[in-house]
């Protein structure tokens, strides 16, 4: 019931306002006002003539009139053919002599109202604004409102999509940063690899200074020299470090550069024969790996008589001078100490 009363009240107010407006519009104009309406209607006809002859730029010196001509020219698209004026109204200001004149314009497509704002200074009337307002039907207004709404909604929709895209890109920022960081580290890693290769080559070069190559039965043998000290005695040892097609046996080391000063241990003569005058002693502790000579065999200085195994290397013990082997005092597999008697010769 309350809603019904509210609706009836709104309808009553609207009817009353319409009645007041009709009464106001129906109020007769004075003779002076009719002359003014006729005068400004002629001004509207002049505006149409200027726009129709494309003489707008000739009035560019007066900004108000120039803008009014441009506005009327733009409205002619909706007005269609100009059919003349059809009266108008004058609205006076309450606190000054200024007034607004509205001239009705008839057109083939739409009617319009040319509104002119006039300011009176020192009894001289001057235009301050000239505008042309096309009158559209209710349906046309609703259509334009719908188009404007759709345009606004479309703009908002596009902006929201752009914002969503920007927000989604935030997830890729850490990946881009990590990729860039990895690219910055790559040159340093490459530089470190190059330095490591240089160091490795230098170490290999230093390591090969004491090496020499030798070919044996189609295989390339690396001979590397070592210097070892055993019980105060210094020995130069040459070792075969590797070979193509399999590991090579160790090479016989050179004779010791210094004879141990320590007195050698006396070893019991073996049953290989009577002891000779020249003793052949072990230069280092180890185990008898092989006996190269036999009793009564003639040997020359430097010939191997016994081969010892020490530190996984074969160390030959050689004849100190030319002569004949008088006795062999050890057997294969016997452990010996440095200075132990291995053999004698005459």
Per-residue pLDDT, 219: 56
Question: What is residue 110's predicted lDDT score, i.e. its pLDDT?
Answer: 93
CA distance 131 to 68: 6
279, 305 contact by CB (below 8 A): no
Q: What's the pLDDT at 15?
A: 65
Q: pLDDT tens, position by position, for the chain (346 residues)?
A: 566 666 766 777 666 655 554 444 546 778 888 998 999 999 999 999 999 888 889 888 999 999 999 999 999 999 999 999 999 999 988 777 788 999 999 999 999 999 999 998 887 888 999 999 999 988 888 888 888 998 999 999 999 999 998 988 888 888 888 888 888 776 655 656 656 676 666 655 555 555 555 555 555 556 666 677 776 666 766 666 554 444 444 444 444 444 444 444 434 444 445 677 899 998 888 899 999 999 999 999 989 999 998 877 888 899 999 999 999 999 999 999 988 999 999 8
Tell me the C-alpha distance between 88 and 236, whole Å.
131
Other C-beta atoms within 10 Å of 103: how many? 24
Q: Look at residue 231 in the predicted model and tell me its pLDDT.
A: 63
Residue with tokens 């004075």: 30
Residue with tokens 């597999």: 333
Closest CA to 342 of 326, 324, 325, 330: 330
N-terminal to C-terminal alpha carbon distance within the chain: 150
What pTM does this model have?
0.39
What count of other Cβ atoms lies within 10 Å of the Cβ of residue 45?
A: 15
Q: Give the pLDDT score at 29.
A: 78
- What CA–CA distance (Å, rounded) separates 19 from 24? 9
Query: In this structure, are residues 44 and 101 in contact, taking their beta carbons and an 8 Å threshold?
Result: no
Rounded Cα gap, residues 116 and 99, in angstroms: 9
Instruction: Tell me how far CA of residue 197 lies from CA of 18, 191, 192, in angstroms.
Output: 100, 10, 9
Phi, psi of 228 (to 5 degrees): -120, 155
The 3-state secondary structure of the chain reads CHHHHHHHHHHHHHHHHHHHHHHHHCCCCCHHHHHHHHHHHHHHHHHHHHHHCCCHHHHCCCHHHHHHHHHHHHHHHHHCCEEEEEEEEEEECCCCCCEEEEEEEEECCCCEEEEEEEEEECCEEEEEEEEEEECCCHHHHHHHHHHHHHHHHHHHHHHHHHHHHHHHHHHHHHHHHHHHHHHHHHHHHHHHHHHHHHHHHHHHHHHHCCEEEEEECCEEEEEEEEEEEECCEEEEEEEEEEECCCCCCCCCCCCCCCCCCCCCCCCCCCCCCCCCCEEEECCCCEEEEEECCCCCCEECCCCEEEEEEECCEEEEEECCCCEEEEEECCCCCCEECCCCEEEEEC
The Cα–Cα gap between 308 and 297 comes to 20
């Amino acid at each position: 019931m309350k809603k019904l009363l509210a609706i009836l009240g709104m309808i009553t107010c609207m009817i009353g306002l319409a009645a007041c407006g009709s009464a106001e519009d129906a109020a007769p104009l004075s003779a002076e006002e009719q002359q003014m309406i006729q005068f400004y209607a002629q001004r509207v006809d002049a505006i149409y003539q200027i726009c129709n002859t494309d003489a707008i730029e000739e009035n560019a010196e007066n900004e108000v009139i120039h803008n009014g001509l441009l506005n009327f020219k733009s409205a002619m698209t909706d007005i269609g053919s100009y059919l003349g004026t059809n009266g108008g109204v004058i609205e006076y200001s309450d606190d000054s002599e200024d007034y607004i004149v509205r001239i009705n314009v008839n057109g083939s497509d739409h009617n319009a109202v040319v509104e002119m704002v006039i300011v009176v200074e020192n009894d001289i009337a001057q235009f301050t604004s000239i505008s042309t307002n096309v009158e559209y039907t209710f349906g046309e207004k609703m259509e334009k409102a719908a188009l404007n709404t759709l345009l606004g909604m479309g703009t908002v929709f596009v902006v929201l999509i752009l914002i969503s895209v920007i927000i989604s890109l935030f997830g890729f920022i850490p990946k881009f940063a990590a990729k860039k960081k990895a690219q910055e580290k790559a040159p340093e890693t490459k530089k470190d690899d190059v330095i490591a290769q240089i160091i490795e080559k230098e170490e290999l070069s230093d390591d090969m200074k004491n090496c020499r190559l030798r070919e044996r039965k189609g295989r390339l043998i690396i001979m590397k020299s070592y210097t070892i000290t055993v019980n105060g005695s210094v020995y130069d040892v040459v070792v075969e470090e590797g070979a193509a097609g399999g590991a090579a046996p160790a090479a016989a080391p050179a004779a010791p550069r210094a004879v141990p000063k320590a007195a050698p241990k006396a070893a019991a003569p073996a049953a290989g024969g009577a002891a000779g005058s020249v003793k052949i002693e072990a230069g280092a502790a180890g185990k008898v790996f092989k006996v190269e000579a036999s009793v009564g065999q003639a040997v020359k200085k430097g010939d191997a008589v016994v081969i010892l195994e020490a530190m996984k290397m074969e160390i030959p013990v050689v004849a100190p001078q030319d002569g004949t082997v008088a006795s062999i005092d050890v057997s294969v597999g016997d452990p010996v100490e440095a200075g132990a008697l291995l053999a004698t010769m005459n």
